[in-house]
Chain A
Amino acid sequence: MSKSEVEILKEALEREKAARLRERASRKAAEKILEDKSRELYHLSNKLKETNLELEKLLDEKSIELKGIYDNINDAYVVIDLGGNVLKMNDMAAEIFEYDINFEEFNVNDTLLEDQIEATYESFEKLMTKGSLNNFESQIRTKTGKIKWVQINASAIFENGQPIAAQGIIRDVTQEKKSRQLLRASESRLSNLILNLHSGILLEDEKGNIVLTNNRFCEIFDIPSKPEELIGVSCARQLRYSKDIFLDPTSEFSKMKDLITTKVQITAEEVIFKDGSIYERDFIPIFSDGEHKGNLWSYRDVTLRRKYRKSLEKERAKYSNIIANMNLGLIEVDNDDRILFANQGFCEMSGYTQEDLLGNRGKDVFLTEADKHIIDEQNKDRLTGKSNSFELRVKTKNGDNRTWLVSGAPNYNIQGDVIGSIGIHLDITEIKSLQEQKEIILKQLEQSNKELHEYAHIVSHDLKSPLRSIDALVSWIKEDNKDKFDDLTMENFSLVEKTLETMEMLISDVLRYSKVGFNKSRNKAVNLNDVIQRLVDALYIPNHISVEVQKNLPTLRGNKTELLQLFQNLISNAVKFIDKPDGLIKIDCAELENHYQFSIADNGIGIAEKYHDKIFQIFHSLKKSKESTGIGLSIVKKIIDNYDGKIWLESQPGEGTTFFFTLKKG
């Protein structure tokens, strides 16, 4: 071996030795670190053990706790697998679903409603991906077919990062849902109501801006906007536009300002508007937790009510005044006929004072024995609600016998029961005696009329008899002395005879005149065409005179004799006064509202206007002749009077006369 080899080896050995030393040193250091670490680890693991124990303990505690919660929870709790099969459920859940897994298989899908399936699956999907589901609401059908609203809060259960089941708490919210719906409905009704309320409503917030108002408010204040357009608008500004609506805007404004400042509730405060309407205002400040939140104003129209009340009071005052002062006696009695009230007029009539009367029976106080039954009968009628009038003979306090006319009516209370009656009394003693007198006078009148009529006949008979005798005697004298008297004597005899005729006619006419309207019934239908025809046939009408009837004449209700006489007198009058070679008499008729108007025209001598009234007066004849007694037209007038008619004439002297007259339609 060479030195170098040895050297190399030596060197190598040296290096090895040094390495070993280094190695030893580092091993030692490593050992030290290990030792330190081991110690540290030991401590740590000890600590871990402790923590673990603690955790285990905690976990147990929680498990126990949770188990208790689920079992005793007030809400329904279910656990389902991914297919919806219920793995676990509590009693509450059984109650909701009416299924119980202790007795039967139960898959929640069985309870799904057709239209809810999709929404439910979506939610389930979400639950699986997100891990939880909050406040999901759905409708279910229970085992017995009940439909319920349920609210579900659920979480997914994972194993190795994969969902394997879900657990959820189910709440039956059917009632809640119903109430919510009802509440919504009533809320909308309420807002509708406010909107259309008959009172004007305005709600302002604490800053004086409008929160709510209604149609009526806009109407009252003449605001052209819709209520919803006013929301947020400043009350004060809006009010300025409407200030002229008040009768006294200044005082109203200051009153309203005071209300807003003092924040004291005021109700039914009267506000008078310029147009005369009266409103009642309520001011209600609104506080929440002692803090002012705004004000509610409401206005209601009470104009009618005020006016009604005012006029009612006025009416009442008026009537009680009338009742107190009227000349009619008024009493109020109860069902036992005891007097409850008597007015001044009644006291004066009866002579008794209120004190004498009140509480007493009317029939005991003033009724004559003979008439007591009347009151008893009347009172019976009152009880059945009948009212009527009757006469009573009574004795007043000073013993006078009087007759009263009583108008009695039942008096009712608010329930409509008869509680007595009210009687109005009028003293008709004088009227009664007048009536009796009138009856006696009427009877006497009738009698004397009859006597007068008889008298006219007797007088006419007695007057005519001597005339007849004179005529007979003259005839005999003439007969017995034929050829012995000269012509003058014979002429005088014929004058005697003519005078007798005139006198006889006068007597007949007076009798006829007195007979017009006496005991005549005027209710027979009389065809005036027949009347005229009869007259034209019977009257002496010379050949040169023609009678024209212009049109069909009406049929009247009346007395044929009278109507015959009426037309006869007028036609013979016309005949008498026609002086023309071609005489013409025209008869015409026109229908008026209540009368017929006739005209009889002639082309005779005519009548001067100054005689137009006189000719209707009795014994007034324009032409003294043996045919004219001056009674004919008086009879005409008297007959026309009996038919509520009038007669007048138009005439042109020398040309003719037209008589017009009216007769009432029958």
Chain B
Amino acid sequence: MKKNLNILLVEDNFIEIVKLKRAISHLEMDHEVVEAENGEIALELLRDGQINPDIILLDLNMPKMNGLEFLAIVRNDDELRHLPIIVLTTSNNSLDLMEAYKLGVSGYIIKPLKYDDYIEKIGHTLSYWSVNELIAN
């Protein structure tokens, strides 16, 4: 039984936001996407209780608070540390990869160049999470 996920997308690039939404609709999935332009806004939304996502898709390169900083804060927040976070980034920098796993992420997906490849990766990822047992709700 596949669940519909509440997804928080932390991403500053408008096209990337559209891309995810279009990909979900292209895949004919019914996941809910809430976007936050950067880590600060995302934290605000989470702490205010405005949103209660099942998973977070996190870009690393963002203005103000970047992805790794956001990750570190969430992992040290008793209320939030349980949230599965999947990094979705262009960076294949091994230092970033290492740092992300050290801080604790549930996945690390590199954005491919080709849109078709992107759809495939997103499809796999969301399918996987939609069959997981999740804590939110």
Binds A, one of B35-43, B45-53, B107-115: B107-115
In the complex, the chain A residue whose C-beta lies closest to that of B23 is: A472
A500 contacts chain B at the CB level, 8 A cutoff: yes
Taking a contact as CB atoms under 8 Å apart, the answer to whether A472 and B115 are in contact is: yes
Quote the shortest CB–CB distance from A177 to chain B (angstroms): 106
Looking at the complex, which one of B96, B112, B115 makes contact with A475 (CB distance below 8 Å)? B115
Give B31-68 as 1s and 0s: 1 = Cβ < 8 Å from A's Cβ atoms. 00000000000000000000000000000010000000
Taking a contact as CB atoms under 8 Å apart, the answer to whether B61 and A467 are in contact is: no
Residues in B whose Cβ lies below 8 Å from that of A301: none
Taking a contact as CB atoms under 8 Å apart, the answer to whether B91 and A472 are in contact is: no
Binds B, one of A35-43, A410-418, A458-466, A566-574: A458-466
Looking at the complex, which one of A461, A467, A473 makes contact with B113 (CB distance below 8 Å)? A467
Taking a contact as CB atoms under 8 Å apart, the answer to whether B111 and A468 are in contact is: yes
Looking at the complex, which one of B18, B113, B115, B118 makes contact with A504 (CB distance below 8 Å)? B113
Task: Give the interface SS of chain A, mostly helix, strand, loop or mixed.
Answer: helix
In the complex, A327 Cα to B112 Cα: how many Å? 67
- The total of interchain contacts (Cβ-Cβ below 8 angstroms) comes to 43
Quote the shortest CB–CB distance from B3 to chain A (angstroms): 27
A91 contacts chain B at the CB level, 8 A cutoff: no
Tell me how many residues of B have a C-beta within 8 Å of chain A: 19
In the complex, the chain A residue whose C-beta lies closest to that of B114 is: A471
Residues in B whose Cβ lies below 8 Å from that of A473: 15
Taking a contact as CB atoms under 8 Å apart, the answer to whether B93 and A457 are in contact is: yes
Residues in B whose Cβ lies below 8 Å from that of A464: 90, 113
In the complex, A191 Cα to B22 Cα: how many Å? 124
Residues in B whose Cβ lies below 8 Å from that of A474: 115
* A476 and B90 in contact, given A458-B61, A467-B113, A469-B15 (Cβ under 8 angstroms): no
Taking a contact as CB atoms under 8 Å apart, the answer to whether B91 and A500 are in contact is: no
In the complex, A467 Cα to B15 Cα: how many Å? 11
Residues in B whose Cβ lies below 8 Å from that of A461: 61, 89-91
A501 contacts chain B at the CB level, 8 A cutoff: yes
Quote the shortest CB–CB distance from B95 to chain A (angstroms): 8
* A476 and B22 in contact, given A461-B90, A461-B91 (Cβ under 8 angstroms): yes
B125 contacts chain A at the CB level, 8 A cutoff: no
Interface size class of A (residues with CB under 8 A): 20 to 34
Looking at the complex, which one of B18, B61, B113, B116 makes contact with A468 (CB distance below 8 Å)? B113
* A471 and B90 in contact, given A458-B61, A461-B61, A476-B22 (Cβ under 8 angstroms): no
Looking at the complex, which one of A460, A467, A472, A504 makes contact with B19 (CB distance below 8 Å)? A472
Instruction: Pick the most buried of A458, A468, A474, A504: most chain B CB atoms within 10 A of its CB.
Output: A468
* A501 and B91 in contact, given A458-B61, A473-B15 (Cβ under 8 angstroms): no
In the complex, A345 Cα to B74 Cα: how many Å? 68
Residues in A whose Cβ lies below 8 Å from that of B112: 468
* A472 and B15 in contact, given A467-B113, A504-B113 (Cβ under 8 angstroms): yes
* A465 and B13 in contact, given A472-B19, A472-B118, A476-B22 (Cβ under 8 angstroms): yes
Quote the shortest CB–CB distance from A144 to chain B (angstroms): 108
Which residues of B from 1 to 25 have beta carbons under 8 Å from A? 13, 15-16, 18-19, 22
Which residues of B from 70 to 110 have beta carbons under 8 Å from A? 89-91, 93, 96
Taking a contact as CB atoms under 8 Å apart, the answer to whether A471 and B113 are in contact is: yes
In the complex, A458 Cα to B19 Cα: how many Å? 22
Looking at the complex, which one of B13, B61, B96, B115 makes contact with A471 (CB distance below 8 Å)? B115
Quote the shortest CB–CB distance from A376 to chain B (angstroms): 51
Taking a contact as CB atoms under 8 Å apart, the answer to whether A501 and B113 are in contact is: yes
In the complex, A179 Cα to B112 Cα: how many Å? 119
In the complex, the chain A residue whose C-beta lies closest to that of B19 is: A472
Taking a contact as CB atoms under 8 Å apart, the answer to whether A457 and B91 are in contact is: yes
In the complex, A468 Cα to B113 Cα: how many Å? 5
In the complex, A475 Cα to B116 Cα: how many Å? 8
Taking a contact as CB atoms under 8 Å apart, the answer to whether B90 and A465 are in contact is: yes
Residues in A whose Cβ lies below 8 Å from that of B18: 472
Quote the shortest CB–CB distance from B136 to chain A (angstroms): 29
Quote the shortest CB–CB distance from B19 to chain A (angstroms): 5
In the complex, the chain B residue whose C-beta lies closest to that of A478 is: B115
Residues in B whose Cβ lies below 8 Å from that of A471: 113-115
Taking a contact as CB atoms under 8 Å apart, the answer to whether B13 and A469 are in contact is: yes
Residues in A whose Cβ lies below 8 Å from that of B115: 471-472, 474-476
Residues in A whose Cβ lies below 8 Å from that of B90: 460-461, 464-465, 468
Quote the shortest CB–CB distance from A12 to chain B (angstroms): 201
In the complex, A464 Cα to B111 Cα: how many Å? 10
In the complex, A457 Cα to B16 Cα: how many Å? 19
In the complex, the chain A residue whose C-beta lies closest to that of B110 is: A464
Quote the shortest CB–CB distance from A396 to chain B (angstroms): 51
In the complex, the chain B residue whose C-beta lies closest to that of A471 is: B115
Residues in A whose Cβ lies below 8 Å from that of B61: 458, 461-462
Which 3 pairs from chain A and chain B are nearest by CB?
A475-B115, A469-B15, A457-B93
Q: Which residues of A contact B (CB under 8 A)?
A: 457-458, 460-462, 464-465, 467-469, 471-476, 497, 500-501, 504
Beyond contacts A460-B90, A472-B115, A474-B115: 12 other A-B pairs, Cβ-Cβ < 8 A, are: A457-B93, A458-B61, A465-B90, A468-B90, A469-B16, A469-B19, A471-B114, A472-B118, A473-B15, A475-B115, A476-B115, A501-B113
Question: Can you show 17 pairs from A to B with CB atoms below 8 A apart?
Answer: A461-B61, A461-B89, A461-B90, A461-B91, A462-B61, A467-B113, A468-B111, A468-B113, A469-B13, A469-B15, A469-B16, A469-B19, A472-B115, A475-B116, A476-B22, A497-B114, A500-B113
